[in-house]
A and B are shown apart, each in its own frame.
Chain A
Amino acid sequence: MIETDAPGRSVVELIKVTKVYPPDVVALQEVSLSVLRGEMLFLTGMSGAGKTTMLKLMCNIESPTSGVVEVAGRNLARVRPSGIQKMRQKIGVAYQDFRLLPKQTALQNIAMAMEVAYQGRQAIKRRAEELLEMLGIADKRDKLVGKLSRGEQQRVALARAAANKPPLLLADEPTGNLDAAAAGRVVNLFNALNAEGSTIVVATHDASIYRDTNHRVLRLVHGTLIEPAAEQLVDESYPPFDYESIAVPAQEEEAGGTLVPDDDGDDFDLDRTPPGGEESEEENAR
């Protein structure tokens, strides 16, 4: 478990993680990765490379076939359901398929995330309006999500993920349906959150959002992580993933062991750490 808020310690740790979907589709193969506290990380790769699977493993929507996934130093395979629930409150996730409620308004969808964290009514309204404004859809506040365009829905999903100013934000193809201007707003939101101390992992194949970045960029190829050279960051012409050629039989619970809850309680040390450490965090809070 991470005991200090010092930047540089890993928030998410994947240790030799393999994920095989039945019957024998290998999405990730012995992937190891550390996401450092306060960092912004871009995961790139072709469709089907395993980006979404990796994000799902990080928020425990999927479990690894083998290997260990740790969040804030805790092996997720050994955390109780109540602990997972508390962890999810600290992780904002923008899903590729949005996971919004079409019969509720944009504001209500964003409010859901904050209500779950028992935020006050006024705070919810203020934050939701702020995010809608930042993402350029303030006028869609009271529109039913089902009536919004894909791009607008995507931004509502992002706003919901960012609503609680989560210590860890996972975004899956956050600009997939957006034009350049809207994508720029999304990047600005990520930068603002990151500057306040949020750790951000973005899975994308949109080179425009990471091409000129100073942040770490990793590429997933055939379920394996590589750190591409700078010139490769603009090259998305990797060959399509041939699942047939690398069929690996599933080995359930090989490294994860039995799912026995550990004794560390339900708390996750997942606080936001802005550049400058704890003092800056306190200043932000003020």
Chain B
Amino acid sequence: MKQLAMLLRQVGRNYRQTWGTQLMTLLTVVLSVLIFSFFFLVYMNMLRASDRLGDDIRIIVYLDEEPVPELRPQIERKIREFSEVDRIAFVSRQEAYNRLAKQLGNDRDVLADLGPSFLPPSIEVYPQKNLKNLARVEEFARYLHTLPGAAKVQYGHGWLQRFSYFTNLLQIIVLMSGALLILSMTFIVSYTIRLTVIARQEELEILRLLGASSFYIRGPLLVEGILQGLLGSGLGLYALYLLFHWIAQKFSGPGLLNLFDFRFFSPLMMAIILMVSVLLCAAGTTFSIRRFLRI
């Protein structure tokens, strides 16, 4: 208990002596966590949105001619050779016509002079929910194009591709901001501790002569590093939470953002970010202590 009290007293004393440096370090950690967690939050939400979009994927194969009933099982068997198929629906010209008429509602008169013959028959293929990889969807679409009588295959290719590219880009940004987080935390915290060690070299030397234990000398430095990580990541996450709420309020109502159902980090994810930050800062501190504290 005495040791803990002394440890905290030393930490407080050092914070008072080097508050300028400590504050700058804290701000750096806060900013790093904020930048990383911002992109990570967007990325997580995009992944969730991508999951939802993946659930709605439907590949339509337009046919030249309506397949005779005897041919349908063969086509179905061929499609199911691709293992990730959930269900298949044949849409006749008449059914397509009825759907269009239903969609047009009161304007269905425009179809009055046209028979169902102008619409192509089609097969709607619903892939399994685990088929989310764009390359795999493309491969599947190419395969469906080889079916006998297939004229065109449609699955919102352009949109899916852009979304996939965007998610990939976000992934790279998250990785880069993650690297920034690691570098800033370990290097900046390590550098701050180094400055502290250099500034207090004389004092530490005297402490050694007075018989201070390794824990007495190293303990406060380690606690300072851990506190930087804890406070920095806590404040960074809190700032992100405020930003998240501000965006949610400003952009509420019908709009693009509502399509994505943005959510904040779960308590578990926040705990992980806090813990990783603390570990990174502790690692930076330990490095500096080992490297520069010659006692």
Contacts and interface: CB of A to CB of B under 8 A. Distances in A.
A82 interface: yes
B216 A116 contact: yes
B211 A112 contact: no
Contacts of A115: 6, 9-10
Contact of A85 (B2, B10, B202, B214): B214
A88 interface: yes
Nearest to B17: A103
Nearest to B212: A116
A192 interface: no
Interface string A91-122: 10100000111000000000011011110100
Given A101-B202, A118-B3, A89 B211 contact: yes
Nearest to B3: A118
Given A101-B202, A101-B203, A61 B3 contact: no
B68 interface: no
Contacts of B6: 115, 118
A41 interface: no
A255 to B, nearest CB: 26
B209 A99 contact: yes
B269 interface: no
Given A118-B2, A118-B6, A120-B2, A85 B212 contact: yes
Interface residues of A, number: 22
Contacts of A100: 206
A43 interface: no
Interface in A78-93: 82, 85-91, 93
A95 B208 CA distance: 14
Contacts of B212: 85, 116
B210 interface: yes
A82 B214 contact: yes
Given A85-B214, A118-B3, A112 B207 contact: yes
Interface of B: 2-3, 6, 9-10, 202-203, 206-214, 216
Interface of A: 59, 61, 82, 85-91, 93, 99-101, 112-113, 115-118, 120, 160
Given A89-B210, A116-B207, A116-B216, 20 more contacts: A82-B213, A85-B208, A85-B211, A85-B214, A86-B211, A87-B211, A88-B209, A88-B210, A93-B209, A99-B206, A100-B206, A101-B202, A101-B203, A115-B6, A115-B10, A116-B211, A116-B212, A118-B6, A120-B2, A160-B210
5 contacts: A85-B214, A87-B211, A99-B206, A115-B9, A116-B212
